[in-house]
Amino acid sequence: MTIHHDDPDVSELLAPLESAEPAIMQRLHDRLAAAAAEQHTLDIAYRTVDSPIGKLLLAATERGMVRVAFEVEDHDAVLQLLAEKLSPRILFSASRLDPAARELDEYFAGTRHQFDVPLDFSLSRGFRLSVLEHLPQIAYGHTESYAQVALAAGSPRPCAPSAPLAPPTRCR
C-alpha cells in the first residue's frame, strides 16, 4: 500500500501535525522512536553531530556503531545505502547515539583517547573487516603505514622499491 501525502484522506490526517508546535512534534517523534526501539522494530538509529571537521552522521544498530559519514558524502545517500544494505527500518533517534556523540565531543576536546562505544561491522567483509578489527590496536598518537596495517591484518602485499625519481611501483 502506497500512501501519498496529496491524498485527501492523508492530507486531512496530517494537517493538524503540520501546524503543531515543534515541542509537541518532538515529543511525538521521541515516543515513536522509543516504541520502535522497545518493540525491536528500529534496526538503524541515526543522528547528526557538529564537529570541528564538519557535520557527521552517526548511525547505529542494536549491536553498535555501524557508520560515521562526513557531510561531503551526502547524508541522505548514506542513509539510502544503509536502507538497501542493512534494513529500511531507519529512524532519527538521538538517544541510541548519545554515548557516541559524547565520546566524539570528548575526543575533539582532547580529553578522550580511546572509544568505548561498541561497533557493528555488518557492512564490512574480508580484508576490509580485518583492517577495521586491527585499527583499535594502534595506540592513540601513533601511526602505522599501509604495509604495516596490511601485514597485521594478515594480507601483506610486498612492493618492490622504486628507483629514485621513478614513479612508485604498484604492489602485487
What pLDDT score was predicted for residue 95?
Answer: 83
Distance of CA 116 to the CA centre of its chain: 15
Residue 172 lies in a domain: no
Quote the CA–CA distance of 106 and 99 in Å, as a whole number.
11
DSSP H or E stretch at residue 67: strand 65-70
Q: What is the pLDDT of residues 4-18, one digit of tens each?
A: 445 555 556 555 656
Distance of CA 118 to the CA centre of its chain: 12
Q: What is the pLDDT of residues 123-159, one digit of tens each?
A: 999 999 999 999 999 998 999 999 999 999 988 765 5
74 & 107 share domain: yes
Quote the CA–CA distance of 39 and 101 in Å, as a whole number.
24
Q: What is the pLDDT of residues 24-82, one digit of tens each?
A: 766 665 676 676 667 666 789 999 999 999 999 999 999 999 999 999 999 999 999 99
Q: Which CATH number covers residue 28?
A: 3.30.160.70
pTM over 0.85: no
Residue 1 lies in a domain: no
Question: How many Cα neighbours within 13 Å face the side chain of 27?
Answer: 5
Q: What is the DSSP string of 99-160?
A: HHHHHHHHHHTT--SS--S-B--TT--HHHHHHHHHGGGSPTT----HHHHHHHTT-----P
73 & 111 share domain: yes
What pLDDT score was predicted for residue 120?
Answer: 96
As a whole number, mean pLDDT of residues 107-133 equals: 94
| Domain interval for residue 142 | 124-160
The count of structural domains within the chain is: 2
Q: How far is the CA of 96 from the CAs of 29, 33, 34, 171, in angstroms?
A: 14, 10, 10, 42
Contact yes or no for 78/132 (Cβ under 8 A): no
Residue 153 lies in a domain: yes
User: Which pLDDT band holds residue 93 (cuts at 50, 70, 90)?
Assistant: confident
89 & 106 share domain: yes
91 & 104 share domain: yes
Q: Please name the amino acid found at residue 63.
A: R
Residue 95 lies in a domain: yes
